[in-house]
Amino acid sequence: MKSKLKAIIVNSALLKKYILDYGFLTKFKLRLFFFNVVIGFLTGSKHGKYLFTHYTSRIIAGQNLHLEGSKKGTFASLVVSGGCYLQAGNGIKLGEGTIFAPNVSIISANHDMSRNDKVWLKQDAIEIGSDCWLGAGCIILPGVKLGNRCVVAAGAVVTKSFPDDGVVIGGVPAKVISKIDN
């Protein structure tokens, strides 16, 4: 039975892409993934090319969301972490292996309140390095750039960039709490 299942997965480009290439079998339970797909289908939820996000998460302007590398970990994290809000109006670039806890908000554009049509202000994109960990309920605001292996503490509000690799940031507004040793 296992060999038949493996043959089916390997011979199907779609199954191979989502199960083997994105590491779904090692990152989370398939039951949750299929539940998300069913809920998304029933509710008509569309996230553009990131259709398989958790059913309680939202991606705004998904065409401006870029996942770097093989997407292992990062893509799986989008599927399992509920309540996340990614507004990519000015662009969000996520490095390979970046993972989310629940209720992370990444907001790349503010509204111009002086205009009646409330269009998004043009600002720099948010760039988050590889192998970062975004803690529960953290908020990352427009123009922020984080280096590789950064940890953002739960509830932190990141208003400025931290380009150094291997730092732990937290607080409101966020500041460096400690460095991560190699």
* Residues with catalytic function: 111
Contact 165, 148 (CB under 8 A): yes
The C-alpha atoms of residue 112 and residue 163 are separated, in whole angstroms, by 27
With left for phi above 0 and alpha for psi between -120 and 50, is residue 147 left, alpha or beta?
beta
List the end-to-end C-alpha distance of the chain, in Å, as a whole number: 43
Contact 9, 15 (CB under 8 A): yes
Contacts of 45 (CB under 8 A, 6+ apart): 39, 55
Question: CB neighbours (10 Å) of residue 15?
Answer: 15
